[in-house]
Structures are given as C-alpha cells and as structure tokens.
C-alpha cells in the first residue's frame, strides 16, 4: 500500500495527528511531576514517534513482498568468526559490538530473500544462533563468576548441593523443592560432564536458549506462514535485553521460557495424535515443575489468542479441528498446572498472600522505586533522566516498528486472515506488559519487570517484524532510502545489545553512567576462602551485596557451621559519604569500588527525597570515602582487603 493510500485513511491520520499533539503535553506533565524516570519515558516515546515518521517517509507500507538479492552467507560467516576472534583477543567492547551488529544486520537483510529465493532458513538460523552464543559468552565467560543477579548464585549452589547429595530431599528446606526440574537437570549435567559448576551453568544456559530460538522460529513460522517474518522475529528475540539477561544467568525462569517456546509451537500446530501426546505431556510436566510465577504469566498471555480461537470457532459453528485441538491442549495444561499447585504445592496460597499482604505494592512501597526521586530544577531533572532514556532508547526502535506493523496489518488484506488477527490480538497485552509506562509503578512491586518482559516476547515480536518486513522494506526504493533503513536497523541492533549487556553497557560506552560490578572476581573468591578459614561462628562478615549472597550460599554448600545471618550487606552512609565499618570482618572489594562501583545498602538518606527509606544502590570511590586506617587489615590480595574491628 502506498503512502498516498495510507494518508487517505481518515482514522489513522487522526490517530497519528493526536499522537504527535500529545507528545509536548506528555513531556510538560512529566516535567511538572518532577521525576527523572517520567521524563525519560517521555523522551523514549518522542523518539519512537520520530522513528515512525522516518519509516513512513522512507518506506512503503504494503503486504506485498519485494525482490531481494541474497547476501553471501560465507561473508556473514567470516564476520561472525571475526567477532569471536575479537571477543577472545580484545574482550567485550565497542569493536566486538560493531562486529556482531554487522552480522545481525546482514541476517535481517538476508531474511527478505527467503520468500523469493529458493533458499533455506537453516543457514541464517545457524548464523543467528552463533551470534546469540557469542553475546551470552561475552558476559559469562569473560569474568570469574558472572552474577548480574544474586539468583545465579542461589541456583548454581542448589544444583551443586543436589549433585553432591544425589537426593532431592537435600533441598527440601528451600523454596526450590517443588520446582526443581532446572536444578535436577543442572546437577545431572555436572555429574556426567565433570565440568565445574560455574562454567557448566554458562554452557547450559547458552545451549538452552538456542533451543528457545529454534522453537521460537518454528512457532513464528506456524503463525505467520512466512519464513522471512519468522527469521526477523527470531532475530528480534535473540538481541532482546530480557533474552540476553536470562540467557546469561543461571535461573529456573530461563528454563521456563525455553519450555514455553517449545509449548507454543506444539500448541498452535493443533495436532493431537498419539505421538504429539507422547512428546507434549512430558514437556508440560517438566515445565510445571520448573517455575511458578512465569507459568502464570504464560497462561495469562496465551489465554488471549487461544480464547479468541475458541470464540471464533463457536461463533462460526465450524468443526475446526486445529482450533479445537489447540484449545483442548491449553485447557489440559491449565488443569495439570492447577492440580499441581493446589494438590502438591502451596503456591496458590503464597501468591494470594504475596499480592494482597506482603508484596511491595500491598505495603505501598513501590513509590520508593519510582516516585521518591523528585527534582525541582528542570536542568537537573533533564540531566538525571538522560541515563534512563539512553538505556531505554532501544524500546523506541521496537515501538516504532510495532507502530508500522499495526498500520500494515490494519490497512491491508492481512487483517482479513484469522492468523493475523490472532497475531495482533496477542500483541496488545504483550506490548502493554513489555514497553515501559507508568502502569509499571504498581506492577514492579508485584513482580520484577524482567520476568514479564521475557515471557511476553513470543507474542510481541511478530508485529514489529511485520513492520520491518512490510513497512521498512530496505530492499525497495532509492539508494538513500535503503541506506536510511539499514542505518536504522544497525542502530536498533547496536542499542539493543548494548542495553542488554552489562560490561560494558551503552551508558558505560557513552560515559554517562557507570554500572556497579556485576561479577565476582577470583580475588574475591580467594578472600571468601580466607574468611571461612579464619572467622569464628559468631563473627559478622560485611561485604558488597553479591559477595554477601555468595558467602551465604558457600556456607550452605560447604556445610559450614556459620549461620546465614552472620553474612551481612555492607552499608554506606549517604549523609557522610563513606563506607561504614562495624565490629567483625569487612570485606572491601577495593578494585571494584575504585573502578565500577560496588552495590551496598545506603543509609542516612535525605528524607526529603527518599522518605527515610534504605535502598540497595551502587557507590563509587569518586563520591564516597573508605577509611582504611580505622581498623586492622588482616588480609589483602591487592584488589580485595579484609578489615577487622
């Protein structure tokens, strides 16, 4: 469809006009509210709208395909190998990110040839999986122990305990007992491969997430009936920040996401033969025994298109065997899930207690996450919103493509087909839960943002893929238009992967904001060995947040007599701008404090800005002091110092 025909659709013209008029009003309101995150949200929405304008100017939204010359896969493979060499020789950084971006842009451009050329998607999927493994490896295998979240330590240690005891009862006192499928898999793998736990978990997660990509491609192809769209959507998943985050950490929701992708492909095939039952039921059983909240999210998001299928079949009164089988399989899964939670676990009761009584939202605490940071100066407000905007700009690219995708679907014959109505219907709740908005103020107090963002991915990416495939059309038009779309694609890829990766991330590369150290070094591991060799059973041990979690889990895995509450997060006084030392041992990660910063508990907060709360936040040597002379130094290996008081 041409832009002239598109401009003739009155309701879309009005919607676009109102959207543009709302932008300055929204920015004004965000400035009046005086909170940096709100201003950052306004900036990313403005950027998304501008990107839509650019794509409408350079593209020709249409459901027709265009001819495309396929890029030589050998050249793309050479750049992929070069990326691996750069990672091995130089490490993660701008050069590595540029090489990977080149590979991914080439894969996206190759996707346009899949519908018009007699070529297979296997080569492109192989290249995509290779790139995904490189991105995950750049986080996990370039440091001693990657701990982007503390749960990595918890789940790795749980698998180690299972491996050593070889009995599930060894973790009966933990919250993982009823959801131990991931830990059983990991412990069994450790036992058979004899690989040490930390590298094994990295390898396991990288391989599992390639299964998710392959299952995702099959699901996208089943829904869209387009290999090109399926490859583009799979590419969007592979670079997504939630995908990179959970692919880099040892977490049972990571395996839950993989099984969800497999389930979606099996579900929407609509087949229910004996072979399908033999494959599907064990997968469902394993998934139910893997995680808890993520399955609730999956049921909620999958119920929308599945419910529409059921309603459509009833309204038309047709015997659609595929739809009936899909609905039946979904109901069987819900019954299996509900039975396990109600009859074997106590999760239903725990969820109700959490939502209505003990969560941050129920206690009214989420205001301290988003709303406490009020700034009266407009200049300071804009300056403090820049890091959040830079970290969120990748949403602008994807949101712009989603907007183009919605225009293409609504203004072409695509909307007349059932599968595209399903795709659009499933996209709407996924988009509401994925893209940042003020609705996250209460939701963040119920469930971490990353968890929802990961589980909605399969239903989110097909509409932006349609926007890219049928709207951006980098193989159609003048050289200038093609160049703009290619630059847009490169910017989308680069900003997304650098926002999803943490050392270095996008704000680190731009020098805007340093993130705290998100890994444990070999020197910190050695210092922990010293602590357990010399500390007594009553001595408190203070250390940065991630290292404290490692020490607690180390005591459990080693069956140490030390009590968990002996290991405490280090504190820092915001009023005095210094690290706090207390009686006992204080493990100071000096190198991290001076370079990347360390995460501690901030106390003595400014009550006018923070309402008297304590928060877990990074501190840096540039603005906090560390008094090394007020206590005795009992151990040092250079980067780490242990003080005694």
Contact 603, 574 (CB under 8 A): yes
Least confident span in 81-90, 260-269, 374-383: 374-383
Report the Cα 639 to chain-centroid distance in Å.
31
Per mean pLDDT, which of 67-71, 171-175, 442-446 is the most reliable?
171-175
**Is 496 within 8 Å of 430 (Cβ atoms)?**
no
How would residue 477 be classed by pLDDT, with cut points 50, 70 and 90? low
Say if residue 57 is preceded by a cis peptide, omega within 30 of 0. Answer: no
Lowest mean pLDDT among 123-137, 274-288, 603-617: 603-617
Q: Which segment of 55-69, 324-338, 437-451, 455-469 scores lowest on mean pLDDT?
A: 55-69
Tokens of 586: 């204080």
To the nearest whole percent, how much of the chain has pLDDT over 70? Answer: 86
- Which pairs from 76-80 meet CB under 8 Å and 24+ separation? 76/103, 76/106, 76/107, 76/110, 76/127, 77/127, 79/103, 79/106, 80/127, 80/130, 80/131, 80/134
DSSP state of 573: E
Model pLDDT, residue 450 = 75
pLDDT surpassing 90 at residue 215: yes
Q: What is the pLDDT of residue 4?
A: 44
How crowded is residue 118: how many other Cβ atoms within 10 Å of its Cβ? 6
Give Cα 250 to chain centroid, integer Å: 13
**Between the CA of residue 97 and those of 391, 490, 514, what are the distances in Å?**
16, 11, 18
d(CA 351, CA 334): 17
10 Å CB burial of residue 357 (0-12, 13-18, 19+) is: exposed
Distance CA(515)–CA(497), nearest Å, equals 16
Per-residue tokens: 163 = 């491996």
What pLDDT score was predicted for residue 62? 61
SS (H, E, C) 5-46: HHHCCHHHHHHHHHHHHHHHHHHHHHHHHCEHHHHHHHHHHH
What's the average model confidence in pLDDT over 265-274?
83
Q: 3-class SS at 570? A: coil
Distance CA 525, CA 532 (A): 11
Winning range, highest mean pLDDT, from 112-116, 135-139, 167-171, 344-348:
135-139
Answer for the pair 63, 105: CB distance below 8 angstroms, yes or no. Answer: no
Considering only CA atoms, which of 86, 258, 133 is closest in space to residue 185?
Answer: 258
Nearest to 642 by CA among 588, 580, 569, 566: 588
User: What is the DSSP code (8-state) at residue 240?
Assistant: -
Mean pLDDT of 307-314: 88
Query: Hey, how many other C-beta atoms are within 10 angstroms of the C-beta on 583?
Result: 11
Q: Please provide the average confidence, as pLDDT, over all residues in the chain.
A: 85
Query: Would you state the pLDDT for residue 65?
Result: 56
pLDDT surpasses 80 at 154:
yes
Q: Cα-atom radius of gyration of the chain, to the nearest Å?
A: 26
Mean pLDDT across 171-188? 92
Predicted local distance difference test score (pLDDT) of residue 15: 74
pLDDT computed for residue 1 by the predictor: 46
**Closest C-alpha to 179, from 295, 73, 351:** 295
pLDDT at 8: 42
How do residues 524-580 score in pLDDT, each as one tens digit? 999 999 999 888 877 899 999 899 999 999 999 888 888 888 999 998 888 888 888
Please report the pLDDT score of residue 351 as a whole number: 75
pLDDT recorded at residue 335: 93
* 3-state SS assignment for residue 635: strand
Q: Is 93 helix (H, G, I), strand (E, B) or coil?
A: coil
Per-residue confidence (pLDDT) for residue 372, from 0 to 100: 52
- The more confidently predicted of residues 617 and 353 is 617
> By the 8 A CB rule, do 545 and 616 touch?
yes
CB contact at 8 A, 295 and 256 = yes
3-class state of residue 166 by DSSP:
coil
The confidence score (pLDDT) of residue 491 equals: 94
CA 147 – CA 154 distance, rounded (Å): 10
Arithmetic mean of pLDDT, 12-24: 78
Angle, CA 112 vertex, CA 109 and CA 116 arms, to 5° = 145
Q: pLDDT digits over 417-476, tens only?
A: 889 999 999 999 999 989 987 777 667 666 767 788 899 999 999 999 999 988 776 655
Name residues whose C-beta falls within 8 Å of residue 191's C-beta, 6 or more positions apart in sequence.
163, 166
Asked if residues 287 and 254 have their Cβ atoms less than 8 Å apart, the reply is no
Contact between residue 272 and residue 332 where contact means Cβ atoms under 8 Å apart: no
* pLDDT of amino acid 119: 63
pLDDT band for 2, please (50, 70, 90 cuts): very low
Instruction: Using the predicted structure, report yes or no on whether residue 126 has a pLDDT greater than 50.
Output: yes
State residue 589 phi and psi, 5-degree precision: -85, 85
Give the phi and the psi of residue 444 in degrees, each rounded to 5.
-65, -25
**What is the tens place of the pLDDT at every residue in 581-625?**
888 899 999 998 988 889 888 886 654 444 455 677 888 888 888
Q: Distance between CA atoms of 337 and 334, rounded to whole angstroms?
A: 5
Higher pLDDT, 411 or 125: 125
CA-based nearest residue to 255, from 184, 348, 330: 184
């Amino acid at each position: 469809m041409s832009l002239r025909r598109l401009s003739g659709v009155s309701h879309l013209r009005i919607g676009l006009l109102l959207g543009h008029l709302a932008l300055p009003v929204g920015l004004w309101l965000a400035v009046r509210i005086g909170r940096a995150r709100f201003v950052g949200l306004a900036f990313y929405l403005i950027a998304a709208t501008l990107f839509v304008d650019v794509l409408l100017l350079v593209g020709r939204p249409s459901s027709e395909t265009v001819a495309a010359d396929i890029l030589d896969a050998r050249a793309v493979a050479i750049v992929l190998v070069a990326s691996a060499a750069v990672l091995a020789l130089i490490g993660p950084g701008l050069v590595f990110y540029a090489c990977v971006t080149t590979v991914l842009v080439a894969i996206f451009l190759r996707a346009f040839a899949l519908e018009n050329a007699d070529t297979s998607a296997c080569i492109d999927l192989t290249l995509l999986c290779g790139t995904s493994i490189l991105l995950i490896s750049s986080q996990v295998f370039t440091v001693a122990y990657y701990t982007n979240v503390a749960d990595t330590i918890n789940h790795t240690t749980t698998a180690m305990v299972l491996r050593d005891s070889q009995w599930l009862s060894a973790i009966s006192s933990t919250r993982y007992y009823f959801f131990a499928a991931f830990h059983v898999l990991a412990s069994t793998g450790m036992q058979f491969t004899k690989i040490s736990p930390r590298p094994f978990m990295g390898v396991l997660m990288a391989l599992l997430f390639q299964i998710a990509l392959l299952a995702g491609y099959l699901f996208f192809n089943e829904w869209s009936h387009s290999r090109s769209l399926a490859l583009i959507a799979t590419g969007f998943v592979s670079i997504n920040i939630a995908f990179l985050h959970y692919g880099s950490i040892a977490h049972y929701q990571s395996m839950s996401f993989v099984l969800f992708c497999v389930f979606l492909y099996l579900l929407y095939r609509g087949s229910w033969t004996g072979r399908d039952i033999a494959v599907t039921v064990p997968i469902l059983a394993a998934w139910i025994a893997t995680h808890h909240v993520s399955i609730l999210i999956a049921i909620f998001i999958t119920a929308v298109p599945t419910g529409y299928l059921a309603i459509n079949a009833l309204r038309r009164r047709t015997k659609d065997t595929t739809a009936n089988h899909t609905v039946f399989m979904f109901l069987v899964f819900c019954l299996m899930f509900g039975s396990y939670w109600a009859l074997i676990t106590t999760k239903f009761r725990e969820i109700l207690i959490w939502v209505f009584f003990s969560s941050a939202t129920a206690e009214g605490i989420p205001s301290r996450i988003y709303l406490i940071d009020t700034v009266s100066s407009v200049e300071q407000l804009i300056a403090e919103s820049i890091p959040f905007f830079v970290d969120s700009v990748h949403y602008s690219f994807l949101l712009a493509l989603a907007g183009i995708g919605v225009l293409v679907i609504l203004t072409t014959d695509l909307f007349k087909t059932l599968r595209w109505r399903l795709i659009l219907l499933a996209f709407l709740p996924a988009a509401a839960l994925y893209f940042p908005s003020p609705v996250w103020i209460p939701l963040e107090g119920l469930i971490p943002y990353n968890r929802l963002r990961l589980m909605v991915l399969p239903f989110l990416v097909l509409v932006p893929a349609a926007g890219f495939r049928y709207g951006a059309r980098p193989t159609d038009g003048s050289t200038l238009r093609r160049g703009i779309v290619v630059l847009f694609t490169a910017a989308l890829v680069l900003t997304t992967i650098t926002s999803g990766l943490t050392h270095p991330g996008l704000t680190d590369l731009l020098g805007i904001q340093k993130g705290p150290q998100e890994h444990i070094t070999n020197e910190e591991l050695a210092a922990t060995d010293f602590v357990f060799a010399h500390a007594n059973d009553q001595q408190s041990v203070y250390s940065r947040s991630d290292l404290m979690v490692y020490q607690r889990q180390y005591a459990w895995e080693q069956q140490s007599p030390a009590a968990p509450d002996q290991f405490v997060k280090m504190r820092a006084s915001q009023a005095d701008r210094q690290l706090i030392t207390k009686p006992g041992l204080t493990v100071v990660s000096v190198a991290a404090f001076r370079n990347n910063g360390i995460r501690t508990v901030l106390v003595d907060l400014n009550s006018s800005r923070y309402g008297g709360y304590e928060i877990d936040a990074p501190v840096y040597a540039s603005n906090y002091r560390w008094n090394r002379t007020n206590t005795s130094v009992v151990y040092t290996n250079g980067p780490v110092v242990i003080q005694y008081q």
